[in-house]
């Protein structure tokens, strides 16, 4: 029997049913994703331990658990096995604290929530895996899980039991990382506005990844930075568009360096788990929990990147302290974005970290394209330096967190003619219930138009710097791409003929009416007093 990625997605999503009944998606996602991650780590350790002890793969996880327990009972064997597992995974889970062990305890009615809480703490305390604080948001005492300890215990036990029935080892190697991504997208769909805190729709991530890797897809050791990385989905999309050199045995996809910063701790931990489940080595992960605008990062080498990708919170307030005017990220522009709208502050931060040969793609609300004041000043300066390369309008309803239309602004440092490509993608979508979706054909049309960089009637326009200057550095897309329908030509001769015909018909009707009224003794033409 073959097991597909779709089967895994469905099985994992079904495991959320128990929680879905009692709490919102933005709450239960942290519990389910934490359990999925722990099961994945635990199962890998079980399988690896069995192979180390028996030089073959186990028939199933139950067999692996039995052998693991036997090894744990022998002090000498356990010491050697533990050292080997810590070297490979950064930790070694005790036999009584594996996911399979918890399932056994549930069946034996001996499981307690404190067991899994301690197991999480043990993993976090392991020195070599980069797991510090990874399960901070898994609160076993939260009333969201149930009002009493028994109810909380019962709920988590039910979820563990559903997950335990899934053998991750039966699926393709990349399936689990993709399934984790699928879960995140499902949570985003159910979370509404809160989805913007952690998720960029897959289609938008794909489009941005294709744009920023265009012309750079054969670089070895490609570096990408997301200053508002959320769950890391946008970062992880990059390697799908990096090309390997199979002929010479060069694996470029797995040499991508990921840099990301996220302000919310729980979302930061989600990004870490996402990276690990996508099998990104610790040496290639550079994630930080911090405020992007408050303090610049990264400040150690490297500080500039081949690509910068961003989907920051829209029109967020920020602290525009005067000290920021001397900050090298903002100083060249001599003004700061208004404190009520940090959109361009995020843009300037990201652009500051872009290599001279790099490309940046950022999702923003349309207001940044035309608002005046400080934003207008910053926009003008960027345009005069030739830094804005393209503006791609997207349909409203693409994001789960907002219904407003958005755009992708593409920036480069090296654009000598200072032209800007405008693409109106507002009609490129498939509607499904309350949301709009970009399908592969929409992504392909938008990307190919971007790559060709030429006019397409009613869809795209390559505007010269002089044209933009004449428009007062206003980048509102309708100023450059006319999508209105053609005005219908009016045939005046035919129109006059039709009017004459109608006039004649009116006279004939009046004559008939006059005859009818005369028969009734009424003067049809008499004036009414």
Q: What is the CATH number of the domain that holds 85?
A: 1.20.1260.30
Position 340 scores a pLDDT of: 93
In a domain, 161, yes or no: yes
Residue 352 sits at the vertex; the CA angle it makes with 346 and 355, to the nearest 5 degrees, is 130
240 shares its domain with 141: no
Angle of helix 175-191 relative to helix 25-54, nearest 10 degrees, comes to: 170
Question: 330 with 324: CB under 8 angstroms?
Answer: yes
pTM (predicted TM-score): 0.87
Q: What is the CATH number of the domain that holds 358?
A: 3.40.50.150
Q: What percent of the chain has pLDDT over 70?
A: 95
**Among positive and negative, which fits the CA dihedral 361, 365, 370, 374?**
negative
Q: Helix (H, G, I), strand (E, B), or coil: what is residue 421? A: strand
Examine the domain organization and report whether 203 and 308 are in the same domain: yes
Query: What percent helix, strand, coil does the chain show, rounded to 5?
Result: 50, 10, 35
Q: Give the pLDDT of residue 296.
A: 93
**483 assigned to some structural domain:** no
Q: Output the six-digit token pair for 359.
A: 């490309």
pLDDT tens sequence across 451-473: 999 999 999 999 999 999 999 99
Residues 220 and 166 in one domain: no
In a domain, 112, yes or no: yes
Q: State how far the Cα of 205 lies from the Cα of 236, in Å rounded to an integer.
A: 9
Last residue of a domain, one of 137, 172, 207: 172
If we measure between CA atoms, which residue out of 181, 161, 163, 179 comes closest to residue 171? Answer: 179
Strands 223-226 and 257-262 turn out to be: parallel
Residue 189 lies in a domain: no
30 and 122 together in one domain: yes
For residue 395, count other CB atoms closer than 10 A to its CB. 19
Closest CA relative to residue 136, chosen from 41, 34, 40: 34
If asked whether residues 227 and 132 sit together in one domain, one would say no
Over the range 204-239, which residues count as b (16 or more CB within 10 Å of their CB) and which as e?
Answer: bbbbbbbbbbeebeebeebbbbbbbbbbbbbbbbbb
Angle at 84 between CA 81 and CA 88, to 5 degrees: 135
The residue range of the domain holding 93 is 5-172
Asked whether residue 36 falls in the same domain as residue 70, the answer is yes
| Shared domain check, 212 and 265 | yes
Q: How far apart are CA 275 and CA 238, in angstroms?
A: 13
Tell me, yes or no, whether 179 lies in a domain.
no
- Tens of pLDDT along 201-248? 899 999 999 999 999 999 999 999 999 999 999 999 999 999 999 989
The verdict on residue 438 lying in a domain is: no
Domain boundary among 383, 418, 453: 418
Contact (Cβ atoms closer than 8 angstroms) between residue 321 and residue 375: no
Contact in structure between 228 and 268 (CB atoms under 8 Å): no
Domain termination residue (choose one: 403, 418, 433) = 418
Please name which of 466, 475, 379 lies closest in space to residue 421, comparing C-alpha atoms. 475
The reply to whether 251 and 391 lie within a common domain is: yes
Query: 21: cis peptide before it, omega within 30°?
Result: no
pLDDT of residue 341: 94
Identify whether 471 is part of a domain: no
Beta strands (DSSP E) in 345-444 are 354-365, 388-394, 406-411, 420-425, 430-432, 435-437
| Per-block mean pLDDT, blocks of 10 residues, the chain (529 long) | 77 87 82 93 95 94 96 96 94 96 96 94 87 92 91 94 89 84 84 68 95 97 96 94 93 96 92 92 94 92 96 89 88 94 97 98 96 97 98 89 87 96 94 86 97 96 97 97 68 76 78 72 58
Residue of 231, 235, 371 whose CA lies nearest to 315: 371
Q: Is the domain of 357 the same as that of 402?
A: yes
| Average pLDDT score over the chain | 90
What is the tally of structural domains in the chain? 3
């Amino acid at each position: 029997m073959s097991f597909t990625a779709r089967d895994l997605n469905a099985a994992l999503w079904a495991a959320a049913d128990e929680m879905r009944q009692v709490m919102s998606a933005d709450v239960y996602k942290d519990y389910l994703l934490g359990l999925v991650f722990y099961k994945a780590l635990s199962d890998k350790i079980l399988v690896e331990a069995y192979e180390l002890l028996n030089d073959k793969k186990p028939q199933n996880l139950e067999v692996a658990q039995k052998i693991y327990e036997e090894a744990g009972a022998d002090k000498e064997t356990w010491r050697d096995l533990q050292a080997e597992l810590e070297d490979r995974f950064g930790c070694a889970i005790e036999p009584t604290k594996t996911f399979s062990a918890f399932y056994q305890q549930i069946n034996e009615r001996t499981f307690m929530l404190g067991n899994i809480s301690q197991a999480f703490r043990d993993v976090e305390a392991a020195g070599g895996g980069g797991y510090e604080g990874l399960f901070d948001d898994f609160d076993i005492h939260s009333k969201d899980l149930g009002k009493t300890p028994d109810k909380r215990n019962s709920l988590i036990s039910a979820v563990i039991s559903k997950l335990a029935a899934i053998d991750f080892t039966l699926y393709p190697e990349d399936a689990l990382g993709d399934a984790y991504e699928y879960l995140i997208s499902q949570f985003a769909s159910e979370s509404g506005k809160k989805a913007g805190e952690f998720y960029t729709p897959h289609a938008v991530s794909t489009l941005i990844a294709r744009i920023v890797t265009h012309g750079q897809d054969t670089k070895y050791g490609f570096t990408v930075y997301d200053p508002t990385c959320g769950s890391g989905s946008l970062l992880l999309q990059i390697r799908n568009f990096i090309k390997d050199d199979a002929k010479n045995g060069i694996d470029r996809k797995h040499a991508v360096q990921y840099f990301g910063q996220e302000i919310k701790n729980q979302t930061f931990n989600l990004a870490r788990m996402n990276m690990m489940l996508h099998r990104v080595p610790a040496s290639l992960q550079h994630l930080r929990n911090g405020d992007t605008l408050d303090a610049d990062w990264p400040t150690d080498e490297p500080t500039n990147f081949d690509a910068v990708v961003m989907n920051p919170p829209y029109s967020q307030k920020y602290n525009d302290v005067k000290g920021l005017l001397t900050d090298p990220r903002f100083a060249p522009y001599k003004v700061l974005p208004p404190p009520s709208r940090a959109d361009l502050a995020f843009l300037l931060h990201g652009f500051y970290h872009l290599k001279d040969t790099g490309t940046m793609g950022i999702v923003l609300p349309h207001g940044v394209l035309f608002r005046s004041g400080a934003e207008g000043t910053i926009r003008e300066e960027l345009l005069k330096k030739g830094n804005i390369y393209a503006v791609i309008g997207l349909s409203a309803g693409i994001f789960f967190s907002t219904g407003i239309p958005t755009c992708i602004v593409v920036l480069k440092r090296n654009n000598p003619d200072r032209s800007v490509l405008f693409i109106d993608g507002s009609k490129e979508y498939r509607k499904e219930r309350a949301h709009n979706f970009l399908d592969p054909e929409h992504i392909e049309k938008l990307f190919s138009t971007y790559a060709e960089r030429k006019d397409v009637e009613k869809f795209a326009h390559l505007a010269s710097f002089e044209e933009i200057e004449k428009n007062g550095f206003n980048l509102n897309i309708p100023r450059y791409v006319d999508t209105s329908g053609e005005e219908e030509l009016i045939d005046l001769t035919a129109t006059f003929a039709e009017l004459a015909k109608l006039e004649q018909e009116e006279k004939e009707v009046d004559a008939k009416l006059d005859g009818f009224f005369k028969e009734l003794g009424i003067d049809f033409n008499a004036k009414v007093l």
